[in-house]
Amino acid sequence: MDDPRRDAHTRALAVVRQGRPADAVREALETLPRGDPSVREAVLARYRRIAAAPGRLDADCALRTALLQGLRSCAVVDDRGLLERATQTYEYRSAGETGEVAANLRAAALLALSQVDDRAAGFHAVRLLREAAWGSGEPALTAARLLVDLGEPLPLYASLLSGGVDGEVAAECFHALVGAPDSVLLGLAGQWSDSADEVGLLGFLDAVLETLAVSSEPEPFEAVLLRFLRDSTHLDLVRYLATAIVARRRTALIAALREGPWPSPTRRGIVEEALALLPER
């Protein structure tokens, strides 16, 4: 009698070994059991075959990225060398930074490497922090998130100090500073409060709000937030911050919102919209 589950397993492995496009390989891998040695063998065999002729078999690195995403659930220590090499793979479709196509491959390799050797993955993550491809932010975004998960805030702090990160990567770096000494985040306030990077600024504001909730000396953080509310040209972020203050019931800041004064009718209107969310006005 046929076994439907075994047949499905066989078909999925066949897709991993030979299938195209990358989405089909990814979907097949998602149906296969985690930790299955036969999945690992199929992934590694296909990866090595492609790596021997990448320009012909996987010009955009999408197949190898899908394979390493699948390897993450079944990787073993013996795969460390392959994965470290993959975190250092750079391939180009055309000249210039925008022609480099292996950013997602390096990100997938980093996550798979972290399953077998956190220490090695941490070192590679620090290297990849400055490599943010246009449109995806990878592999820098994955590197920042991994360092947060590993409890390694120092390279993220260094990247914020040097101005070497922006956008979502900067926001992830700020997330790592929640719980750092108060002086660390306050020291970055002067550098970041006037930044043109709205996504990075959002990460900064969230980090200040979270730190404010646990700080034994909240007044300096409250001053940073009030200064931003009064002076920032990023009115969407001003609206977000005013709403967040009300939603989190920050009593001292709510009192300051009511008191003002506000430098323009537009800014005063934003504040009043936030205060209107309070059940008791």
Q: Which tens digit of pLDDT belongs to each residue from 99-118? A: 899 999 999 999 999 999 99
Residues 131 and 175 in one domain: no
Could you report the per-residue pLDDT of 140-182, keeping only the tens digit for each?
A: 999 999 999 999 999 999 999 998 899 999 999 999 999 899 9
- Mean pLDDT in residue range 258-274: 93
pLDDT band at 135 (very low <50, low <70, confident <90, very high): confident
Domain final residue, candidates 151, 181, 208: 151
Residues 4 and 43 in one domain: yes
Please give the mean pLDDT across all residues of the chain: 93
Residue 206: name the closest of 230, 194, 224 by CA.
224
Residues 142 and 159 in one domain: no
Domain final residue, candidates 151, 174, 192: 151
Structural domain count, the chain: 2
Give the residues across from 100 on adjacent strands: 92
pLDDT at 126: 97
Could you report the per-residue pLDDT of 53-94, keeping only the tens digit for each?
A: 999 999 999 999 999 999 999 999 999 999 999 999 999 987
Give the residues across from 92 on adjacent strands: 100
- Mean pLDDT in residue range 262-272: 93
pLDDT at 281: 56
Domain final residue, candidates 151, 168, 201: 151
Residues 67 and 194 in one domain: no
pLDDT at 164: 86
Residues 53 and 129 in one domain: yes
pLDDT band at 133 (very low <50, low <70, confident <90, very high): confident
Residues 138 and 157 in one domain: no
Round to whole Å and give the CA distance between 57 and 60.
9
Write out the chain in H/E/C secondary structure: CCCHHHHHHHHHHHHHHHCCCHHHHHHHHHHCCCCCHHHHHHHHHHHHHHHHCHHHHCCCCHHHHHHHHHHCCCCCHHHHHHHHHHHCCCCECCCCHHHECCHHHHHHHHHHHHHHCHHHHHHHHHHHCCCECCCCCCEHHHHHHHHHHCCCCHHHHHHHHHCCCCHHHHHHHHHCCCCCCHHHHHHHHHHHCCCCCHHHHHHHHHHHHHHHHHCCCCHHHHHHHHHHHHHCCCHHHHHHHHHHHHHCCCHHHHHHHHHCCCCCHHHHHHHHHHHCCCCCC
pLDDT band at 2 (very low <50, low <70, confident <90, very high): low
Round to whole Å and give the CA distance between 65 and 111.
11
Residues 26 and 142 in one domain: yes
Position 214 pLDDT exceeds 70: yes
Residues 176 and 63 in one domain: no
Could you report the per-residue pLDDT of 176-210, keeping only the tens digit for each?
A: 999 899 999 999 998 898 899 999 999 999 999 99
**What's the pTM?**
0.89
pLDDT band at 50 (very low <50, low <70, confident <90, very high): very high
pLDDT at 1: 45
Residues 142 and 224 in one domain: no
Residues 138 and 209 in one domain: no
Position 97 pLDDT exceeds 80: no
pLDDT at 6: 81
pLDDT band at 5 (very low <50, low <70, confident <90, very high): confident
- The CATH number of the domain where 48 resides is what? 1.25.10
Residues 93 and 198 in one domain: no
Q: Which domain holds residue 106?
A: 1-151
Residues 125 and 107 in one domain: yes
